[in-house]
Structure 1
Amino acid sequence: MYMGDRSSEVAVPLLDGGAGGGDAHRDDPLKQRLPVSGSTSFFKTCFNGVNALSGVGILSIPYALASGGWLSLLLFFLVAASTYYTALLIQKCMEMDRTIRTYPDIGHRSFGHLGRALLSVSMNVELYLVSTGFLIVEGDNLHGLFPNMEFQIAGITIGAKNGFILLVTCLLMVLTFCPDNMSFVSYFSAGGVIASSVLVCTVLWAAAVDGVGFHHNNGTLINVEGLPTAVSLYAFCYCAHPVFPTLYNSMSNQRQFSKVMLVCFVFCTLGYSVTAIMGYLMFGPNLQSQITLNLPKDKISSKVAIYTTIINPLAKYTLMVTPIVHAIENRIVVYNPSKGCRVLIRMGLLLSSMAVAVAIPFFEILMSLVGAFLSITASVIFPCLCYLKMSGDYRRFRRKSAAIWGIVLVGVVVLVVGTYVAMRDIYLQLLR
């Protein structure tokens, strides 16, 4: 999952200097800007790209495979290939206009202020819902470790899961008083790559060494009813496209960007697919929304996986909400906002995230909604439409443009069906 630095400039923690920072641009943001190049090497850009693509999606992808069945893996690889191709389309858009620095810039260059607004809104809503998902992950995994815990507040008994969400919210509240410079937190959150690797290794260790084993060798070949959820969760795993312009501008040799994307997508696809297959073989149809909830709590490997899952979102939460804070500041504050204003905005976002996490504590459904409605929009549909508009290929019929229109059509189908299924599932869960 990607992390941000400003509402109009989404960035991951870069390991080297580059073009990741800057002020929010008003009026026509593409005017009076020079082409940008950075100093980040090929290897470091690969690390940053993997960090952007790897996230909490690795927790839910075994559940996605269990929902869709073994043949849904073909759709997973199709999603991976499509999003890799749209990443290359973003590169082509930036090569056509060297003044572009951010993802919303591409929207502005293609469709004016409306394009910028749509991309900015989709990015910030996605960040908000993913940060809410972090709170649900914390509550679920802490509840798994301490299932009999109860909290008493002002004579009111709060259940374990909601109590842990409240506790984590209080811990995160402390970060709202931190300085606005988030560089330290961003570098700490770069451990997300290590955390994802640790999770894959500990799941394998639990199966091979700690006695869980691979007992579900058959499984369901295909589950048509679960395919929309599966594809939506697959799309959620590849929602880092708003970061790619920042990575491109940070590179010292931007011609190698396509190779960086290939390395990142192959590495992450391998990690996701291995985790999905191992999880399905280990737990079959009994897989829960996060694979850590299935792991036996008395094993060391399981505890390492669970604690890694708990610590990682705590480090990333503040980075996720920072671009939303800047977006709100840019809209409602006409002067230089004070630290107190920033603190109040962050506290409001945190408390509203907690309210949503308590009201809709269904991680897999919420992330399925993010994948179907927002990830498909930002990572599949928008890159295709922006490229067609900037290149002028929408005016003429070619095999390449026909293929891109085909991707758009499939993306729209996934968006409509996946969003409907996710909203329906949320409604049904709330009725229970």
Structure 2
Amino acid sequence: MNNTCWCLPTEEKMDTNNMERTESQNQHPQSHEPPSTKGTTFIRTCFNGVNTLSGVGILSVPYALSKGGWLSLLLLLLVALLCFYTGLLLRRCMDSDPLIKSYPDVGQVAFGRKGRAIVSTFLYLELFFVAVEFLIMEGDNLHKLFPKENFVVFGNKIGGKQGFVLLSAVVVLPTTWLRSLGVLAYVSAGGVMASLILVLAVFWGGAFDGIGFHERGDLWNWSGLSTAISLFTFCYCGHAVFPTICNSMKDKSQFPKVLVVCFILSTISYGSMSIFGYLMFGEHLTSQVTLNLPTKNISSKIAIYTTLINPISKYALVLAPIATALEQTFPFRESKMMSCLIRTCLVTSTVFVALVVPFFGYVMAFIGAFLSVTVSILVPCLCYCKMVIGFNKFGVELMMILMIMLFGSVVAIVGTYTALTDIIKEIQPK
């Protein structure tokens, strides 16, 4: 999710963009320090890793389970295992060249400048659509809290949901003008706590606030399988951050253990939320579980307000790497006015997409199938084969990687087609 200035001129700029990328998915990155002097501890790195994997996907895992049925929980575990394994492959790619500091570096070492450009493009696209998701989420949940509100803009009456998207954009716009995002990065470190509060609030609503866990649901649903896998893959799209997290450690040899801890904790969180939500609302689940919660309950309000606060603090972090890259391509790159103009245009573009395609679940499924599968499954496998084992050395490992790539390709093609078809159906007049 990093883009133009696709081939950044210096390692310092590469590191800066990747640090900002780390922050973008509800995550708190650590600055790269020489391992001989400084670095993060094992526990702190685990915290950063869980932040990386604990994102807005937690809102949609119950919906994903409702699309695939109970047995699709096995797919959640499968996706977690595959992404864990490809995370290890990325680490091995880094070990093959000590100059690698970021994910785009891996692409460049493996396939040259074109590889770097492709990897960076996918990373930036993912960032952009995550920012769009933030605005859609804000509009949906604010409309849930205030369903009767309408807005008048330049004499035109705008519906509540669209109005709240615009209002959210106005609120976050000044934060995008800040070039120093240290405070926002600190706030974003609350991602793990926010996810925990959200899971507990949903559970409390079902257990003690009268909603109950009465729905049985389906065992298996073929028609929704591709959407379920796409949403599950979105939940584990932290690979662009892994090189930065690994480089931040005092003892990089412990990074595989960090991945084990992070993936186990994240899978417990995602699995718990999906089970609670599906038992509570069954086939009636919307793309965000908070939209199913009755607003009269205290637990529901806690869940919704927790959902609302996070995107506001992280939106600027998501757009910062894109803005920085764009600023490097324009003249007067040090001009504050030019920087504000570029960032304002970026915000405007995300607002436009959020208003045109306000379908949280379908957009997330598109991100998961088209972008996350590529970044988290296909690219690590390709780079590892090119850099480490070679495509000509047939063996058990290569065959397993080729099978993973085949699985990822099928998910990417079918999932992307399904998501785009669903979006087009919603956009077309009925």
Question: Please, what TM-score do these two structures have when normalized by structure 1?
Answer: 0.93
- In structure 2, do the counterparts of structure 1 residues 102 and 17 end up closer, same or farther at CA, with 3 Å as the change threshold? closer
Map Cα deviations across residues 229-265 of structure 1 (whole Å, 9 max, x no partner).
0000000000110000000000000010000000000
Cα distance in structure 1, aligned partners of 2:220 and 2:29: 45
Within the candidate set 378, 394, 397, 1:397 is matched to 394
- Ranges of 4+ aligned residues in structure 1 off by more than 2 Å: 4-18, 34-38, 330-333
> What secondary structure does 2:296 align onto?
coil
2:173 match: 173
1:401 CA displacement: 1.0
Cα distance in structure 2, aligned partners of 1:17 and 1:223: 42
> What secondary structure does 1:149 align onto?
coil
1:58 match: 58
> What secondary structure does 1:12 align onto?
helix
> What secondary structure does 2:204 align onto?
helix
Map Cα deviations across residues 160-189 of structure 1 (whole Å, 9 max, x no partner).
0001001111111222333x1111111111
Conserved? CA contact 1:35–1:98, under 8 Å: no
Within the candidate set 298, 301, 317, 1:300 is matched to 298
1:236 match: 234
Cα distance in structure 2, aligned partners of 1:105 and 1:169: 33
The alignment-based identity, stated in percent, is 48
1:338 match: 335
Cα distance in structure 2, aligned partners of 1:42 and 1:186: 20
Alignment of 1:410-421 (within 5 A): 410-421=407-418
Conserved? CA contact 2:177–2:343, under 8 Å: no
Alignment of 1:174-323 (within 5 A): 174-178=174-178, 180-216=179-215, 218-323=216-321
Residue identity opposite 2:197 in structure 1: V
Residue identity opposite 2:71 in structure 1: L
Could you tell me which runs of 5 or more consecutive residues in structure 1 were left unpaired when the two chains were aligned: 21-33
Aligned residues: 415
Cα distance in structure 2, aligned partners of 1:331 and 1:380: 30
Cα distance in structure 1, aligned partners of 2:209 and 2:193: 22
- In structure 2, do the counterparts of structure 1 residues 44 and 15 end up closer, same or farther at CA, with 3 Å as the change threshold? farther
Conserved? CA contact 2:15–2:101, under 8 Å: no
1:364 match: 361
Residue identity opposite 1:220 in structure 2: D
Q: Give me the CA root mean square deviation.
A: 1.9
> What secondary structure does 1:376 align onto?
helix
Cα distance in structure 2, aligned partners of 1:61 and 1:271: 10
Residue identity opposite 2:52 in structure 1: A
**1:388 counterpart = 2:385:** yes
Map Cα deviations across residues 174-224 of structure 1 (whole Å, 9 max, x no partner).
22333x1111111111111111010000001001111110010x2111111
- In structure 2, do the counterparts of structure 1 residues 68 and 126 end up closer, same or farther at CA, with 3 Å as the change threshold? same
Cα distance in structure 2, aligned partners of 1:37 and 1:124: 32
Residue identity opposite 2:313 in structure 1: A
Conserved? CA contact 1:106–1:116, under 8 Å: yes
1:336 CA displacement: 4.0
Residue identity opposite 1:212 in structure 2: I
Residue identity opposite 2:157 in structure 1: T
1:327 CA displacement: 1.6
Cα distance in structure 2, aligned partners of 1:383 and 1:91: 9
2:126 match: 126
- In structure 2, do the counterparts of structure 1 residues 17 and 377 end up closer, same or farther at CA, with 3 Å as the change threshold? closer
Map Cα deviations across residues 385-423 of structure 1 (whole Å, 9 max, x no partner).
000000133111110111011101110110100000011
Conserved? CA contact 1:12–1:186, under 8 Å: no
Cα distance in structure 1, aligned partners of 2:399 and 2:419: 30
> What secondary structure does 1:284 align onto?
helix
Conserved? CA contact 2:30–2:244, under 8 Å: no
1:351 CA displacement: 0.6
Cα distance in structure 1, aligned partners of 2:296 and 2:207: 16
Could you tell me which runs of 5 or more consecutive residues in structure 2 were left unpaired when the two chains were aligned: 3-13
1:117 CA displacement: 0.3
> What secondary structure does 2:241 align onto?
helix
Cα distance in structure 1, aligned partners of 2:291 and 2:181: 31
2:32 match: 19
Within the candidate set 324, 327, 331, 1:326 is matched to 324
> What secondary structure does 2:267 align onto?
helix
2:10 match: none
Residue identity opposite 1:58 in structure 2: I
Residue identity opposite 1:80 in structure 2: A
- In structure 2, do the counterparts of structure 1 residues 44 and 136 end up closer, same or farther at CA, with 3 Å as the change threshold? same
- In structure 2, do the counterparts of structure 1 residues 355 and 6 end up closer, same or farther at CA, with 3 Å as the change threshold? farther
Cα distance in structure 2, aligned partners of 1:366 and 1:301: 27
Residue identity opposite 1:232 in structure 2: S
